[in-house]
A and B are shown apart, each in its own frame.
Chain A
Amino acid sequence: SQQGEEDPQALSIQEGENATMNCSYKTSINNLQWYRQNSGRGLVHLILIRSNEREKHSGRLRVTLDTSKKSSSLLITASRAADTASYFCATDAVILGDLGMRFGAGTRLTVKP
């Protein structure tokens, strides 16, 4: 069963602009992860944020988590053409008795040079 849902489905920006992608989920989680997928490749893990954390940074990436709203956001600052990819959030569903992570359908980001 799907847990995370990303919004928007597609986002197109100019190089140098910031990109914000959102993720909403339905049940309580232990952690939330963001992944990136380049066309024709597998997913690559970007950041893991635990339920007791509110914000995390990694280079040009900033992830926030609001457990009261069951939502997370991924901000990419000063975007580059190489950031063009699909971005997915994934949540654990331990509370449901399920094992493993559940992924959304992703946000397709296009950064124009």
Chain B
Amino acid sequence: ETGVTQTPRHLVMGMTNKKSLKCEQHLGHNAMYWYKQSAKKPLELMFVYNFKEQTENNSVPSRFSPECPNSSHLFLHLHTLQPEDSALYLCASSQDEVQPQHFGDGTRLSIL
């Protein structure tokens, strides 16, 4: 148990669907992150939240929309995704933005 829980673990959706990924941490951390992991590519940092404020958006397409209602929860809202968006989406948290990160086990997303 890493203290970071992601749901669902697997998600299959069509390109016209709307779905949300959820991340929850019980570690009292202030920073939360979304990453995209594709096969044989570096882990891509998508969004960073610090004290519920978005501090970084790495040129992510608008079809990905993050939400951080409080410091323990992070969502990634998905709509009209493309096949190349199929990947493992990882959530992480840390005390601050350079401290060790604790990762969830990810959501495996497949776009049909």
Contacts and interface: CB of A to CB of B under 8 A. Distances in A.
Given A42-B103, A42-B105, A44-B103, A30 B45 contact: no
Contacts of A102: 42, 45
B100 A48 contact: yes
B98 A92 contact: yes
Interface of A: 2, 9, 30-31, 33, 35, 40-45, 48, 88, 92, 94, 98-106
B42 A94 contact: no
A88 B37 CA distance: 12
A101 B105 contact: no
B98 A31 contact: yes
A10 to B, nearest CB: 10
Contact of A99 (B6, B48, B90, B106): B48
Q: Which of A30, A98, A100 has the most CB atoms of chain B within a 10 A radius of its CB?
A: A100
A101 to B, nearest CB: 7
Contact of A42 (B31, B42, B50, B90): B90
Contacts of A2: 42
Given A2-B42, A101-B97, A103-B45, 11 more contacts: A33-B100, A41-B106, A42-B92, A43-B101, A44-B2, A98-B56, A99-B55, A100-B33, A104-B42, A104-B43, A105-B41
